[in-house]
Amino acid sequence: MSRKIIMPGGSGFLGTSLANYLVKLGYEVVILTRQPSSTKNHIRYVHWDGQTLGDWQKEIEGSYAIINFTGKSVNCIYTKKNKENILSSRINSVKILHESIKNCSNPPEVFIQAASLAIYGDTIDECDENGAHGTGFSVEVCEKWEEVFFEFNHEKTRQLCLRIGFALGKEGGALEPLLKLAKLNLGGTIGTGKQYISWIHIDDLNEMFLHAIDNNQYSGVYNATGPNPVTNKSFMETVRKVLGKGWSPNVPTPIVKFGSFFVMKTAPELALTGRKCVPKRFLNNGFSFKYENLEKALHEIIHE
Ligand SMILES: NC(=O)c1ccc[n+]([C@@H]2O[C@H](COP(=O)([O-])OP(=O)(O)OC[C@H]3O[C@@H](n4cnc5c(N)ncnc54)[C@H](OP(=O)(O)O)[C@@H]3O)[C@@H](O)[C@H]2O)c1
């Protein structure tokens, strides 16, 4: 059996971590990137444009799995152009990957899509995979993304979509700006502080991908997040505690809106909204987490 795993968009925060993990386990990893083709640290980078068929298709033939991470970062100001790119980069990559699978005589066993818990919107109600969808731009993107992913069912390729939470890792991701602010004694509660953060340590997320690849019974939609979401107030308190920082003033909603737009150059809703999600299907399948406790997870990321 081929041990080759193809990761479109795998050059970013989540993909790099998973690629290094899979290489250590002995898998052959190929990342599809808009950059020129190259090889680094036992990972092969193959050029594609994320929207049209090309030479990269050869990599799909006979591979074991595809895990698609492609998408313009949502960490930007939501101008009309950025919104269009956020959506089109996701939809186009899914569509062209479907085409490439259809063209295979020996298709991959599994096609996994990295999706988002943002589909549940801004809510303090607990959401498992059957939770109601929210409203607004991010929700619409998630819905269209998943719709295109499940629009086509491959005969020989299992399909799963992992709705990923707030992934905590050492190099990048959404934690990085929060740590920078907290180190400057600006790590207070954001907005009301009541919005939930459904966090997951990136090591647990990597393990979830591996489970999803290797177990035939996994298919459909899964929440890929930790079992213990916390409020923003509690999250920021824990960040300060782990950094050894004392009390910090709260950052009221109007200041968050101003600071997001003019200083951080990002959409304020990323910090002001949240959701309380649980990984019900992973737990039902017996998945066990290395990091269930936020303090332990942050300690590992910041100090180890
Ligand atoms: N990080 C999280 O906590 C989190 C949580 C929930 C969901 N997700 C989702 O998981 C996926 C991966 O997340 P990530 O944090 O690893 O993202 P990332 O660091 O921004 O990486 C995404 C990759 O997509 C490619 N890309 C960017 N814009 C593109 C475009 N316009 N057209 C084609 N490719 C483009 C880039 O690869 P090249 O430049 O090499 O082509 C980039 O490295 C994203 O779809 C994200 O929305 C992430």
Query: In the chain, what are the domain boundaries?
Result: 4-165+201-225+277-289
Query: Tell me, what's the pLDDT at 121?
Result: 97
Closest by CA position to 280, among listed 124, 126, 120: 126
Ligand 1 centroid to Cα of residue 115, in Å, is: 10
Which pLDDT band, with edges at 50, 70 and 90, does 141 fall under?
very high
Across all residues in the chain, what is the average pLDDT? 95
If one residue of 14, 75, 142 were mutated to test the ligand 1 pocket, choosing by the most ligand atoms within 8 A of its CB, it would be 14
Give the whole-number percent of the chain exceeding pLDDT 70: 99
Q: Relative to the CA of 50, which ligand 1 atom is closest?
A: 33
Angle between helices 13-24 and 202-214 (to 10 degrees): 60
Q: Relative to the CA of 174, which ligand 1 atom is closest?
A: 3
Inter-residue contact 202 to 17 (CB < 8 Å): yes
Tokens of 194: 């009541």
In the predicted model, what is the mean pLDDT of residues 24-28? 97
Computed on alpha carbons and rounded to an integer, the radius of gyration of the chain in Å comes to 19
CA angle 61, 109, 201 (to 5 degrees): 110
If one residue of 73, 84, 93 were mutated to test the ligand 1 pocket, choosing by the most ligand atoms within 8 A of its CB, it would be 73
Q: What is the distance, to the nearest Å, from the Cα of residue 289 to the centroid of all Cα atoms in its chain?
A: 17
Ligand 1 centroid to Cα of residue 245, in Å, is: 32
Ligand 1 centroid to Cα of residue 88, in Å, is: 13
Is the model's pLDDT at 181 over the cut of 90? no
Closest by CA position to 209, among listed 269, 218, 119: 218
Compute the distance between CA of residue 31 and CA of residue 207 in angstroms, rounded to an integer: 19
Residue closest by Cα to atom 45 of ligand 1: 71
User: Pairing relation of β-strands 4-8 and 28-33?
Assistant: parallel
Compute the distance between CA of residue 114 and CA of residue 47 in angstroms, rounded to an integer: 20
**For 198-242, how does the pLDDT look when each residue is reduced to its tens digit (9 = 90+)?**
999 999 999 999 999 999 999 999 999 999 999 999 999 999 999
Is the model's pLDDT at 1 over the cut of 80? no
CA distances to 7, 44, 291 from 56, rounded to whole Å, are 12, 12, 37
Residue given tokens 């019900």 in the structure block: 280
More confident residue, 75 or 148: 148
Residue closest by Cα to atom 2 of ligand 1: 167
Closest by CA position to 157, among listed 112, 126, 121: 112
Ligand 1 centroid to Cα of residue 204, in Å, is: 19
**For 268-297, how does the pLDDT look when each residue is reduced to its tens digit (9 = 90+)?**
888 889 999 999 999 999 999 999 999 999
Annotation: CATH topology of 4-165+201-225+277-289: Rossmann fold (3.40.50)
Ligand 1 centroid to Cα of residue 93, in Å, is: 11
Ligand 1 centroid to Cα of residue 72, in Å, is: 6
Which pLDDT band, with edges at 50, 70 and 90, does 134 fall under?
very high
Residue closest by Cα to atom 43 of ligand 1: 12
pTM of the model: 0.97
C-alpha dihedral sign at 109, 205, 219, 52: negative
In the predicted model, what is the mean pLDDT of residues 44-65? 98
44-53, 179-188, 251-260: range with highest mean pLDDT: 44-53
Residues lining ligand 1, Cβ inside 6 A: 9, 11-15, 33-35, 50, 69-74, 85, 89, 114, 116, 164, 166-167, 173-174
Ligand 1 centroid to Cα of residue 116, in Å, is: 11
